[in-house]
Amino acid sequence: MLASLYLISFLVFEASIVLVLGKVNKKSVNNLLSIHKNTILG
């Protein structure tokens, strides 16, 4: 019982980390793309 609760909480924790990192990575990728566009076109 305790092990299954630990496993579920761990999976939720991992999923939240992946989601947060995904959002951060998308933002940073978009920032890099906009910077490259500005330097190439500017």
- Tell whether pTM > 0.75: no
Residue 32 belongs to domain spanning: 1-42
Q: Decide if pLDDT at 42 tops 80.
A: no
- Give all strands (DSSP E) within the chain, no chain letters: none
Instruction: Work out how many domains the chain is built from and give that number.
Output: 1
More confident residue, 1 or 7: 7
Distance of alpha carbon 13 from alpha carbon 15, whole angstroms? 5
**What's the distance, CA 31 to chain centroid?**
15
pLDDT tens column, 28-41: 888 888 887 887 77
Distance of alpha carbon 17 from alpha carbon 5, whole angstroms? 18
